[in-house]
Amino acid sequence: MGLIIQKFGGTSLGDAEKIHRAARRAIRAKLEGNEVVVVVSAMGGSTDTLVDLAYQITDRPNRREMDQLLATGEQVSIALMAMSIHHAGHDAISLTGGQIGLRTDRTFGRARIREITQRGRIISLLKDGSIVIAAGFQGVDAGANITTLGRGGSDTTAVALAASLGADVCEIYTDVDGVYSTDPRIVPEARKLDYIFYDEMLELSSLGAQVMHSRSIELGKNYGVRIHVRSSYTDAKGTDIVKEWSDFDQVIVRGAALKRNLARVELTNVPHQPGIAGEVFTRVAERNVIVDDIIQVVHEGGNTADISFTIEAPEIEAAQALCDEMAVEMPGMTPEIKPHRAKVSVVGVGMRTHTGVASRMFESLHQADVNIENISTSEIVISCVIREADGERALRAVHAAFELEPS
Ligand code: ADP
Ligand code: ASP
Ligand code: MG
C-alpha cells in the first residue's frame, strides 16, 4: 500500500466524460490498495475564459481580484471530480487551497508556497477511506487572501503535496504521454523521453516547455519527489523526472525549447560610470519586471555603454514607462523596446563535459536562415534570442541538428 498523488491538467478535464475518466483512474489506484490524493486544474480553457472576462471589464485588473477570480476555475473542478467519484460509489471529499492550508506569500499572480498546514486533516481523511481532491494552483496568504501560483501552477501544488505527505510518487496526467525532446505540437518528430534529470527539466520548463511548471521541479528536486509525467488517455509508461546519475547516460543535449512572447530592451549610450547598471536594474526590480540575458557593451573611448536585456511581453508597458523616465534623466541615452522576440534553447547536463554544442546550434540556425540577436549560456543551457516569426523554424532546426528524433 502506498500514497499516490495524481494531478490532472485542464486538458484532461475538458468535459464530463473526461472528468469521469480521471475519476476512474483515481478509483483504480484506490482499489489497488493505495491512498490517493487527486490534484485538479481548472477545466480546459476555463482559466483563459476567466482572464478574458477580466479584460472585458478593465485593461488593468487588480491583482488580488484577479486571483480571487482565477481560483474559481479549480473550485469548479474539485467539486465535479468529487461528485464523479461519489457517482461511482466511492468516498471522496474536495478541498480548496485554503482548506488544505496551502499558505503562500502575497505575490498575487505568482505566489510562492510557504507551507501546507492541514497535513493532519488530509491524512485523517485518507485514513477514513476517502479520496482527497485538492484544488491546484491556489493558496491563501497570511491575511486569508486567495493567491495563485502562476499559470500552470497546479503541477506545483501536486509536488508540494507529495513532498508534504511523503507520497511514493507524484503522477502528472496530461494530454501527451510524457516529456518529449521538445514540444510535439511544434515538432512532430519529437521523441518521448523515458527519464529526464531534475536540472534539465527545470531549465526546459523555465525556457518555455509548458508541460511542467518550473517551480514544481525546483520543489521536486529539493524534496526528492518522484515525478512521473504520463498520458491521461492511455496506460503507457510516461517519463520519470529523476535525480542525476553519471553512469551510462551519454546524452549531451536532452531537449530543446521555445519561449515566445518576449521583448528586448536596448539602452544605447548609457553613461559608463560605476553605479549606473545598479541604478537601472534597481528601478527595473522596483517595477517587478523580471529580466533575463543582460548584456553590457562598453563603447570605444570608454565613456558610454549599451545595456540590453530580455523581458516578457506583458511587462512591455512597465518597461516603456521606465525607459521614458530614464531617457529624461540620462540625456544622450536612447531607449528602444523590440517586441515579438522569442528564445530557442538546448538543454543537457552532458554539456558540462562536451564541447562543440554551441557551434552546432549556431550552424543549424544559420542553415535555417535564422538571425541570432543575442546568445546566452550557462553550464547546461545555450539560448539564442531571435525574431518570434522565426521561432518554430529555429526550434525544428536545432532539434534536428542534435538528432533528438527517434532513431
Ligand atoms: P495540462 O493541461 O495537462 O497541465 P499543459 O498544456 O500545461 O497540460 O502541458 C502539456 C503540453 O505541453 C503539451 O500538450 C505540449 O504541447 C506542451 N509541451 C511543451 N514542451 C513539451 C515537452 N518537451 N514535452 C511534452 N510536452 C510539451
Ligand atoms: N488553471 C491554471 C492555468 O490554466 C493552472 C493549471 O492549469 O495548472 O494556468
Ligand atoms: Mg500545465
pLDDT tens column, 290-301 = 999 999 999 988
Distance 68 CA to ligand 2 centre (A): 14
Q: Would the CB of 152 count as within 6 Å of ligand 1? A: yes
- Output the pLDDT for position 219: 98
pLDDT for 302 beyond 90? no
Ligand closest to 22 (CA) is 1
Alpha carbon distance 22, 38 (integer Å) = 9
Question: Mean pLDDT throughout 33-55?
Answer: 98
8 Å CB contact between 139 and 78: no
* Band of pLDDT at residue 287, cut at 50, 70 and 90: confident
The answer to which of 14-23, 77-86, 297-306, 398-407 has the lowest mean pLDDT is 398-407
- The full length of the chain comes to 407
Residues in the 5 Å CB sphere of ion ligand 3: 9, 152
Alpha carbon distance 100, 118 (integer Å) = 5
Largest CA distance in the chain: 79
* Band of pLDDT at residue 403, cut at 50, 70 and 90: confident
Alpha carbon distance 330, 272 (integer Å) = 11
Question: Mean pLDDT throughout 305-324?
Answer: 94
73 CA closest ligand 2 atom index: 1
Of the chain, the end-to-end C-alpha distance in Å amounts to 39
- Output the pLDDT for position 248: 73
Distance 212 CA to ligand 3 centre (A): 6
Question: What residue owns the CA closest to ligand 2's atom 5?
Answer: 152
Question: What residue owns the CA closest to ligand 2's atom 9?
Answer: 151
Question: Quick one: cell of 199?
Answer: 536540472
Distance 136 CA to ligand 2 centre (A): 8
**pLDDT by residue (tens digit) across 111-123?**
999 999 999 999 9
- Output the pLDDT for position 40: 98
Ligand closest to 10 (CA) is 1
Q: Would the CB of 258 count as within 6 Å of ligand 1? A: no
Q: Would the CB of 174 count as within 6 Å of ligand 1? A: yes
Ligand closest to 136 (CA) is 2
Alpha carbon distance 238, 173 (integer Å) = 9
8 Å CB contact between 344 and 258: yes
Question: Mean pLDDT throughout 356-367?
Answer: 96
- Output the pLDDT for position 247: 67
- Output the pLDDT for position 249: 79
Question: Mean pLDDT throughout 64-80?
Answer: 98
Q: Name every residue whose Cβ is closer than 8 Å to that of residue 214 and which is 6 or more positions away in sequence.
A: 202, 205, 206
Q: Which fold has domain 3-175?
A: Carbamate kinase (3.40.1160)
Q: Would the CB of 176 count as within 6 Å of ligand 1? A: yes
Helix/strand/coil percentages in the chain, nearest 5: 40, 30, 35
Distance 268 CA to ligand 3 centre (A): 39
Ligand closest to 42 (CA) is 2
How many other CB atoms are found less than 10 A from the CB of residue 145?
Answer: 16
Distance 355 CA to ligand 3 centre (A): 34
**pLDDT by residue (tens digit) across 140-150?**
999 999 999 99
Question: What residue owns the CA closest to ligand 1's atom 15?
Answer: 183
Question: Mean pLDDT throughout 87-105?
Answer: 98
Distance 397 CA to ligand 1 centre (A): 20
Ligand closest to 40 (CA) is 2
- Output the pLDDT for position 379: 94
pLDDT for 373 beyond 70? yes
- Domain positions in the chain are 3-175
pLDDT for 190 beyond 90? yes
Q: Would the CB of 161 count as within 6 Å of ligand 1? A: no
**pLDDT by residue (tens digit) across 207-253?**
999 999 999 999 999 999 999 999 999 999 999 999 988 767 788 99
Q: Ligand 2: which residues within 6 Å by Cβ? A: 9-10, 41-42, 47, 73, 136-137, 151-154
Task: Work out the mean pLDDT of the chain and round it to a whole number.
Answer: 96
**pLDDT by residue (tens digit) across 332-343?**
999 999 999 999
Distance 79 CA to ligand 1 centre (A): 25
